[in-house]
Structure 1
Amino acid sequence: MKTIVVANNKGGVGKTTIASQIVYSLSERGHSVLGVDLDSQRNFSASFEGAKTLGNALDLVTRGESVKADLASGEIGVVTGHKDLQSQNADDVMANVQAGLLGSSGADFCVVDTPPNFGEAVYGALIAADYLLAPIELKKYSVDGIEGVLEALYAAQGVNPKLQLLGILPSRFDAVKQIERDAMVQVAEAVGDLCVPYAIRNRTAYVVAQEEGVPLAEVKTKSGKDAQEEFGQFFDWLYDKLGEGK
Structure 2
Amino acid sequence: MHTIVVANNKGGVGKTTIATQIAFHLRHAGHSVVAVDLDGQVNLTSALPGVRVVGNALGMVETGAVPPFTTEPGELVLIEGDAEVPVSSADAVLRGTAQGLRSIDGPEFCVIDTPPTFSAVVYGAMLSADYMLAPIELKKFSLDGVEGVLKAFVQVQELNEGITFLGLLPSRFDAVKQSERDTLQLVAESYSALIIPHAIRNRVGYEMAEAEGLPVFEVTTRSGKEAAAEFGAFFAWLRTALQEEA
Deviation sequence 1:196-221 (CA, Å, 0-9, x none):
00000000011111111111122110
Q: Who is 2:196 aligned against?
A: 196
Question: TM-score, normalization: structure 2?
Answer: 0.97
CA distance in 1, matches of 2:241, 2:160: 19
Total equivalences in the alignment? 245
Question: TM-score, normalization: structure 1?
Answer: 0.97
Q: Who is 1:169 aligned against?
A: 169
CA distance in 2, matches of 1:146, 1:69: 37
Deviation sequence 1:134-157 (CA, Å, 0-9, x none):
000100211110000001100110
In the TM superposition, what is the alpha-carbon distance from 1:87 to its structure 2 partner? 4.9
Specify the SS of the correspondent of 1:195: coil
Tell me which amino acid in the other structure corresponds to 1:164: T
Q: Who is 2:55 aligned against?
A: 55
Tell me which amino acid in the other structure corresponds to 2:32: S
Taking only the aligned residue pairs, the percentage that are identical comes to: 51
Kept in 2, the 8 Å contact 1:203–1:227? The answer is: yes
Specify the SS of the correspondent of 1:241: helix
Report matched runs for 1:81-160 at 5 Å. Answer: 81-87=81-87, 90-160=90-160
Kept in 2, the 8 Å contact 1:34–1:69? The answer is: no
In the TM superposition, what is the alpha-carbon distance from 1:89 to its structure 2 partner? 5.1
In the TM superposition, what is the alpha-carbon distance from 1:103 to its structure 2 partner? 1.2
After TM superposition, the structure 1 stretch with the greater mean CA deviation from structure 2, 43-52 or 17-26, is: 43-52
Kept in 2, the 8 Å contact 1:35–1:112? The answer is: yes
CA distance in 1, matches of 2:106, 2:80: 17
After TM superposition, the structure 1 stretch with the greater mean CA deviation from structure 2, 66-75 or 112-121, is: 66-75
After TM superposition, the structure 1 stretch with the greater mean CA deviation from structure 2, 12-21 or 60-69, is: 60-69
Q: Who is 2:224 aligned against?
A: 224
Deviation sequence 1:33-76 (CA, Å, 0-9, x none):
00000001001012223211001000111111235331101101
CA distance in 2, matches of 1:90, 1:51: 31
Q: Unpaired runs of 5+ in structure 2?
A: none
Taking a change above 3 Å as real, the CA distance of residues 100 and 191 of structure 1, as seen in their structure-2 partners, is same
Specify the SS of the correspondent of 2:191: helix
Deviation sequence 1:171-215 (CA, Å, 0-9, x none):
000111000000001110111120000000000011111111111
Kept in 2, the 8 Å contact 1:39–1:115? The answer is: yes
CA distance in 2, matches of 1:171, 1:224: 16
Kept in 2, the 8 Å contact 1:32–1:71? The answer is: yes
Tell me which amino acid in the other structure corresponds to 2:37: D
After TM superposition, the structure 1 stretch with the greater mean CA deviation from structure 2, 41-50 or 199-208, is: 41-50
Q: Who is 1:38 aligned against?
A: 38
Kept in 2, the 8 Å contact 1:37–1:44? The answer is: yes
Q: Who is 2:179 aligned against?
A: 179
Deviation sequence 1:108-146 (CA, Å, 0-9, x none):
000000000000000000010000000001002111100
Specify the SS of the correspondent of 1:139: coil
Tell me which amino acid in the other structure corresponds to 1:83: A
RMSD: 1.3
Q: Would you identify which runs of 4 or more consecutive aligned residues in structure 1 move more than 2 Å?
A: 66-69, 86-91
Tell me which amino acid in the other structure corresponds to 2:197: P
Tell me which amino acid in the other structure corresponds to 1:48: L
CA distance in 2, matches of 1:159, 1:118: 16
